[in-house]
Each structure stands twice: as C-alpha cells, then as structure tokens.
Structure 1
Amino acid sequence: MLRPALVATTLSLATSLPAHAEFNFDIGLGSEYLKNGISLTEGKPAVQTGLTYIHDSGLYGGLWASNIDQKDNDIEAEGSAFAGWYLPLTESLALDAGITHYDNFGGDDSEGRGYAEGFAKLLVNDAWTFGVRQSDDFQGTDEEHRSLESAYTYQTGTFSIEFYVAQHRFLKTTETANYGGSRDDYWHFRVGAGRSYNNWDYRLKLERTNLGGDYDAGTAITFSLHRFFNF
C-alpha cells in the first residue's frame, strides 16, 4: 500500500528517515508491478515514483505512481495519494493508520475505478506487523473489500528479509466483485530480501497467490531498484 506492496515499502523507508529529512522523493524501475499479488503489468517492467512528506509529530502524506500494462484494458497508469499518522505507543509498540486514494489514468477503462482505502497497522518491536485495509467501493465495484495482513521483517544493518501473508476478500460477491465466478477471497504470500544503502533501495521478491491464471497471479519473482532523495 499505502500498501501497494511497493507503496508500503516506500512508507516503511520514509518513516525510518532521520527527523531532518522531511521530504523524500524516489524514482525507480521494477521488473513487474504486482498489487496484492496480482500483476498489473503482466510480466513487463514498471517505472515508479513517489513523494513523501513526514512531520516530526508522525503525520505523513504523499503521492505515488506506476505505469500499468494489461491486455484486457487500456489503462496506462495508477496513481495514489496517501496520508497517515505513525504513533509510537510504547518502546516496543507503534500504530500506523491512515487512508490511501487510488485512481487509474489513460483510456476509457480508467473511468469510475478510483477508490479510497483506510488502513491500520500495529507494529511490534519494529519487526512484526499486523494490519487491516478496507474499502467501501473497491476499484469502482460499489462493494466492500478487506485485506488482513501480517508480516515479519528481519533487519540486520542495511539488509532486510521479509515474510508476508494476507487474505484479500470481497465482503459480498457480485458479477463485478469476485475473484473468478463466486469466489470472494484469496491468499497472498511473499518472501523478500532487500538492501537500503546510500539512498539506493534494492528488492528481490517471490510472491504467490492461490488464484488462477485468469488473474496472472500464480508465482512471480520480481526485482526493483529505487533511488531516494531526501531534502
């Protein structure tokens, strides 16, 4: 998010910046763009960029964008605007909550697909994350959608290893709000390794869902390289 997975990575990096780095800009290239484990570029590369502002109070906000390339629609890009509050509760617990608004651009298929998604995450010892994301109008379907997710990140120096699992679910299925006929949910797994060094961020991920080929969402291995600028 703010979450896509790559948006969540951006926020994770941003909240770890020193207090004087109030603005964070990044631009990078990924071998593929996966959102909730589903490919939005169908094996093709994605150019991605974002801008984040962080206040000393823990409030933050920003913008993020990536190209999209799918054969069944003429959408060219996805953009998001997000705002949230990172609040330490104790020495070992912190709360991260906010909202992200997504929109699609380019072509007739992009119309009416914008939606907002609220999120809340509990962070434990800067390693465990337990979160929920929910939208009342997911991708313009007029139906509620919820994601329950959990992750563990092992950090040593500039290197990190992430283990992630999530359930993505329509709370009610309709003709347009489903994952293959009457199916209302699916599971999403990810294992990733990364390094942040000298304002460069490298990520290698293996992602898997239990969806079929109709969603181009089986097993995918992706690599991304981003350059961050703090000012």
Structure 2
Amino acid sequence: MRRTALLRCWNEESTIIACLMSIENVFTDIVIIYSDITDSSLQLIEKYCKGRNNIIVERYPYHVYPALHSIYKIGDFDINNSLAAYYNFGMDICKKIGGTICKIDCDQVYIEESLFFQFADIEANMLSTPNRGYRSGLWGINSFVHNNILMVVGDEKINGIGDHYILSGDILKYHQSPFYEIPQYTQEISTLNYHNMPCWFHFRRKIQKVNNLIGTEFTLERYVNDAIEVLHLDDDLIDIFEKNIRPLLIKSESKYCNVVFS
C-alpha cells in the first residue's frame, strides 16, 4: 500500500533535512510544496532529492498568509493566498498518487518506530473494511529551543491532536477559518484511537495560542520569561530524544544538534 507524506515548507533550513531523514523509510512517496522561502531550505531540498525519484517538489505560485494573520479575521483576501488553498494544492497532488496521506511539518523531526506503528493500525482497518474512510490521529512533543536549551511548552506539552493525521485517501478538503486552515471531511469516517507514543519533537520558532477567539503569538524569549509552568523535559522524553532525534540532527548538521536540557 502506498504511503504519501505531504510537507509544506517555509524557511526551515535548520530542520528540513532531519525531518526528511526521519520519514524516508516510512513513506513510499513524499510531496513537498513551498511558497515564500527566503532561506536555504529549497537548496537543501534540491540537494537531498538528487537520486531519489519518489520525491515531488512543487512551488505554490501565490503568497500565503501565515496562521493567525489579521487578514483572515478581516476576511478581505484572495482565497489563493490562504493556508487552506495552499494545503488543498498539496493534497490534490497526493490524491493523484493514491494510498494513504499523512500531513508532515518540516519543523518537526519524527520517530520512525511510532509512524510505522500508526500506519499498521490504519492499514489493517482499511484492509478489513475498505469502503469506509479512516483517520488516524498523531501527536508529538510540543518543544522548542531557547538559548540552546530544548524545552516543552509548559501548558501544552503535546500537540498535533487536531490537525495531524494519516488519512485513508481522498476524504478531506481544507477551508479557511479566522485563524487556521480547517479540515472538513467529504465522507463519513472512522477515527482510530490515539496511541500512547509520541511521533515527533517540534522545533518551534514562536508560540501561537487561541483563547476566547483571540489569536496571540509569543516570541520564544517572551514565552520563557512569562511562563509559570515547568518547561524542562522529563527523563523519559530525554531518552526518546537521544535515541531517535539527536542522531538525525547530527547527521543533517542542524544547528540544533548540540542542544542541552537545562
């Protein structure tokens, strides 16, 4: 069964190669779409793709407003400039390939074993009852690096529950909300249980929150200075990071390869 990863890339030169390395053994096909890149991400992707014929790289021909941009709340924008249109552009490419589709973020580095486990679950259901649509939710560690210290978002240590998933094919279309792109399903689906294992570590460059329909962005420095929650990783997460994530950061020569935990 074919497995397609959909990556949307914007200035992610510090993690894009580690991200690709972390998923390359899991997926039969990788689709990378990009827009508005101003760093070396595209050059790194092009170098990585040499000799790999299972990776499609496509430029989205419009500027894309990021999540929480005020223009979404105002509503006065060309739909082509929305995150929803950008995501649908990538999904349309994935749907032509067939098989399952998984949304991947380029600022996250993945745990191969966890992804294989998630795919085994959804594929077993697809084989047993092939006429239904399936969604398998994924989650990971909501982490970031500040002053070379790897930390977690204290009041939201995991992320991905709402918008990271494996889909059993062409069952989803995105629509734009005042804050984010919203997935809407085009047929009845079964949502599979979340498994008790993280699928990634996130390398966030800012912290975004929506409370009472108000979207707020924090710089990492402001978030760390204002935080009242514990931000350090526990021993179990450190072990997972050292086993699965750091080797890829080192191999890809990421600026995060020498992070510490306190």
| TM-score normalised per structure 1 | 0.28
Which structure has greater helix proportion?
Answer: 2
| TM-score normalised per structure 2 | 0.25
- Over alpha carbons, which structure has the higher Rg? 2
Which structure has greater strand proportion?
Answer: 1
